[in-house]
């Protein structure tokens, strides 16, 4: 069954990546192992979401005064991974 991608979002398959890292201005590194999907807004925005192979969604937010932030969550079975 195909996942329904919410309106206004673009989903890209990144299952070919072994891992993805983000290096923040304070020098810290946030690593996502086994990423499978990348979600962005069609009309721009300051965040994007990466879903990993375990179903955890990582939201990488635009850096603010305190640096960048990563928020992550796991959705319930059957729920869309991302709905912004």
Tell me if 28 is assigned to some domain: yes
Distances (CA, A) of 27 to 10, 18, 23, 32, 47: 30, 22, 6, 16, 20
Q: Comparing C-alpha atoms, which of 30, 21, 35 is closest to residue 71?
A: 30
Q: Which two tokens stand for residue 72?
A: 């992550």
CA distance 49 to 56: 10
Tell me if 46 is assigned to some domain: yes
Tell me if 80 is assigned to some domain: no
CA distance 47 to 63: 9
Tell me if 83 is assigned to some domain: no
pLDDT at 83 over 80: no
Domain count for the chain: 1
At residue 10's C-alpha, the angle toward residues 6 and 14, to 5°, is 120
Q: Give the predicted TM-score (pTM) of the model.
A: 0.81
Tell me if 84 is assigned to some domain: no
Domain that holds residue 49: 9-74
Tell me if 57 is assigned to some domain: yes
- pLDDT for the residue numbered 1: 43
Tell me if 81 is assigned to some domain: no
Tell me if 1 is assigned to some domain: no
Q: What is the pLDDT of residues 27-49, one digit of tens each?
A: 888 999 999 999 998 887 778 89
Q: What is the pLDDT of residues 1-33, one digit of tens each?
A: 456 777 788 999 999 999 999 888 788 889 999
CA distance 58 to 52: 8
């Amino acid at each position: 069954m195909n996942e329904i991608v919410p309106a206004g979002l673009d989903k890209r398959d990144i299952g070919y990546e072994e891992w993805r890292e983000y290096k923040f201005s304070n020098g810290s590194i946030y690593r996502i192992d086994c990423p499978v999907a990348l979600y962005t807004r069609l009309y721009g925005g300051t965040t994007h979401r990466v879903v990993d192979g375990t179903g955890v969604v990582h939201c990488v937010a635009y850096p603010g005064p305190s640096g960048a932030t990563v928020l992550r969550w796991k959705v319930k079975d059957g729920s869309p991974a991302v709905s912004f």
